[in-house]
A = this chain, B = another copy of it.
């Protein structure tokens, strides 16, 4: 089954707000076996809404609309939908009570504009939103039973409505085949090289009822395999067989078999083995630590980091030798190894990773151009190091170095 998403709001077109709702809805719908055919973002104008709605309903059976339900004058979605479905706004007493309670529970004054939010189209099914004052609406078009759902644009209100109100109604309204998918996280290989590596297998995938998608980001590629079937078990089996085949061919590049970030993969991999980690960061400036500590539960694994931006800090806090710093410079194999060993010893961890490089855009020399990054990994068996030659984009150099470091930890500590 196909659906379309329409997001309403001038702030989306002006670039003041990134539309994160559509991706979330797309993922949730895909998991329910509903494929999003198109996402359209339009302004808060009645004409734009009517045209987009008409176009979407001509193509698909299910249209999800977010935004334009606030109490201010520029929010006109509700009125426009009532007009489209030829119905009137009427006061909904149950909703009025919900909104009144919402305000009194927070000690805020209720304005006339908020009272108006309880005026809802007569011909729709109201989806109660306990998280805010704009309700959801479920419209069914009589002639063909096509459905339009309207929800507020605030992400957490929309998500609550989708999970609690929309999907139960979807399951009752349509009988859908199951979609099963698995995502593998690879690192250290480009999209095109990876695709070439599994070429013959990939060419036969479609005939076996499995589809593949490559999702590249600097230094990593997520590979997603999926199948759709009336029989949930059949879909799962088809995908799992191909996951096993992929792992046989390209398993060396796979750092996680879950759909998770590299930071999360490090935490889960080390936690399973009761191993601990510390970091000593120069050019990555705390970004390795930040990507690990963004993961809930990371304190089980991660002890801490010394961000040694200044050479003096490398000496006093990590025990890097001043002679070695002078002889080799901060961006060198000798220094980065001492950093890793220094933090490992001081924080008493099983593993420690260190970085020192020229992130750019300035600071490069002929011998050590911008993009030169040394990484060291200290573990139970000693310390190893490698040198990356990246480009001259600072943000990207930091990102790539973080990914290299995280993937190296996963590969070594297993």
Contacts and interface: CB of A to CB of B under 8 A. Distances in A.
A148 to B, nearest CB: 18
A16 B224 contact: yes
B393 A131 contact: yes
A287 interface: yes
Interface stretch (A35-43, A89-97, A243-251, A406-414): A35-43
A274 to B, nearest CB: 15
A28 interface: yes
Interface size class of A (residues with CB under 8 A): 35 or more
Nearest to A27: B15
A28 B13 CA distance: 11
A25 interface: yes
Contacts of A196: 111, 113
A267 to B, nearest CB: 12
Q: Secondary structure at chain A's binding surface: helix, strand, loop or mixed?
A: mixed
B293 A286 contact: yes
Given A39-B12, A361-B296, A70 B192 contact: yes
A19 B19 contact: yes
Nearest to A278: B313
B309 A307 contact: no
Identify which of A35, A224, A309 gathers the most chain B CB atoms within 10 Å of its CB.
A309
B306 A17 contact: no
A88 interface: no
Given A192-B70, A306-B317, A215 B289 contact: no
A303 B293 contact: no
A156 interface: yes
A13 B42 contact: no
A214 interface: yes
